[in-house]
Amino acid sequence: MRSTAVNGQVLAAGLFLLVWCCSRGHVGGEEAVSSPPNVVFILADDLGFNDVGYHGRDDMSAIRTPVLDALAGEGVKLEKYYVQPICTPSRSQLLTGRYQIHTGLQHGVIRPPQPNALPLDEVTLPQKLKERGYATSMVGKWHLGFYKDAFLPTERGFDSFLGYLSGKEGYYTHDNTFKLGGTVMKGYDLRANKSVVKHFRGHYSTHLFTEKAVHTIKHHDRSKPLFLYVAYQAVHEPLEVPKRYKIPYAHVENERRRTYAGMVSCMDEGIGNITKALRHSGLYNNTVIIFSTDNGGPTQCAANNWPLRGEKGTLWEGGVRGVGFVHSPLLPASIRGSINHELMHISDWLPTIVAGVAGGRLNGTKPLDGFNMWGTIRGEVPSPRKELLHNIDPLVVHPYYPEDSETDQDAWSEMWSNHNLIAGVPRFQRFNSSIRAALRVGDWKIQTGHGGSWKPMPHPNSWTPPPESGLGVVNPILRPGQHLWLFNITADPLEENDLSDDYPDVVATMLDRLDQYYQDSVPVRYPSWDPSANPALHGGAWGPWE
């Protein structure tokens, strides 16, 4: 049960939000609404589905997010919104509008010493917005490759950048250590544009990135619309936060969860400061604020996705169903404060922002997998999206089957004879269900492979309640060697009832669709580590080495 102090603090925060949410236009004089609008896209890192207040308060979570609750409550909550299960793929799809099977980023994340990156022939969201005259600025985590100078954010469409290039680092030190066997590579990772900036050591990154975002808003040249991409480090590991943010969660016994909750609160405060800066600068009335997580929360790092199944890294709903909302005074009054249950995916943001919000053109990109959802978000039309591919990763194969079974018809026959779903269908013409993949079509979701994550995790297939609930992990009963699941995800969003034995025709159709995607995919690009990347060879900092 929450303490009186916690309730009082939450009430005070709520009253504070009510005051500034109701004070539109009286500070600094809001500018007249013009076109195209400013866009502020805020991306949280590893935020669990149950770790935002408006979800968690009904599902035993102690975490409170009064700013996010207020913004979402006055905007449109996206409650059938999907992301990718890990960092790099989500960020690549956000900035290109294209599935990772079309960019070669199907497997894992980009590691610091890997000569890998988002391909240069992919047109990015900020590049398209610059065609509409936008000033483009990025703050925070990149994680789309940096082994050559051409892959840095300021070469991919951003006018300015303050942040780090790799996947994680110390919140105070800004150091990232990569270990592989006996090899250890450690380096500093914080840049302003292309230059390493070491004077921010000791500056907590959530505060730093918030301050930079506020500075960008205050000093924005209003002759241009603004696109500001704030990719917070929060709430990715390591679990670090100033002590004062943990005080409201003193009643939470689990120390890691208490720290994680404080990290969420610190980020929530930062988003409030960004929103206040928009108001004080007179930009708010012509701004669209978008909030999203990049993937589900990792339960081993104290995040939580309850009541969804699975976690970060998995293709269960807990790994791919994300927290997301849109907040703007430009939204019709009739849909502010509403919940949108239309199917939407992170790959939809490029066409939605460029064509929908900014009124730009989508020519010049490669074929997009995303859809313009602006009319759907505004409540005007149903979602044009009827299906979404979660992923196909041919580098992760169920250990029950040989990895070369894709071209071995005898192995294919053995595989299908061990599964009674495709009777009467030529067995070698179906998608190899030993490959890790998942697809959503209408109400149906199919998942193949071994289940779980692309790398070992404690409870990848389970339902994990928040530590403060006092409840234990609920583990599923898995059939030995099982490599295929089918769910009616609309009726069963918690993925409790596998229907693969009951609907063989649906399974066959879904496997055919997966195979179509697979045939249209490009080879996975996941190169070996390059010793030339060692920061010791580059002044002690991570950065381009080729």
Q: Is-catalytic flag, 87?
A: yes
Residue whose entry in the numeric block shows the structure tokens 């890998």? 116
143 is catalytic: yes
Report whether pLDDT(27) > 90. no
Torsion sign (Cα): 490, 492, 493, 498: negative
Contact assessment for residue 460 and residue 313, using Cβ atoms and an 8 Å cutoff: yes
Q: Where are the beta strands (DSSP E) in 189-322?
A: 191-192, 195-196, 226-231, 287-293
Q: What is the model's pLDDT at position 451?
A: 76
Q: Judge contact between 326 and 290, C-beta under 8 A.
A: yes
Cis geometry, peptide bond prior to residue 493 (ω within 30 degrees of 0): no
| Residue type for position 132 | R
Residue 215: Cβ within 10 Å count? 14
| Catalytic annotation, pick one of 87, 174, 236, 483 | 87
Q: How confident is the model at residue 399 (pLDDT cuts 50, 70, 90)?
A: low
**pLDDT above 60 for 400:** no
| Greatest CA separation for the chain | 74
The whole-number average pLDDT for the span 17-34 is 38
In percent, how much of the chain has pLDDT > 70?
Answer: 88
Residue 177 confidence (pLDDT): 97
pLDDT of residue 450: 82
**pLDDT above 60: residue 339:** yes
Whether the pLDDT of residue 373 is over 90: the answer is yes
Residue 454 is predicted with a pLDDT of 64
246 vs 404, residue with greater confidence:
246
Report the length, in residues, of the chain: 546
Q: Which residue is catalytic, options 55, 143, 236, 450? A: 143
For the segment 327-349, the average pLDDT, to the nearest whole number, is: 98
Paired with 137 in beta bridges are 160, 228
Inter-residue contact 88 to 347 (CB < 8 Å): no
pTM, full prediction: 0.89
Q: Say whether pLDDT at 262 is over 80.
A: yes
pLDDT digits (tens, 9 = 90+) for 168-192: 999 999 999 999 888 899 999 999 9
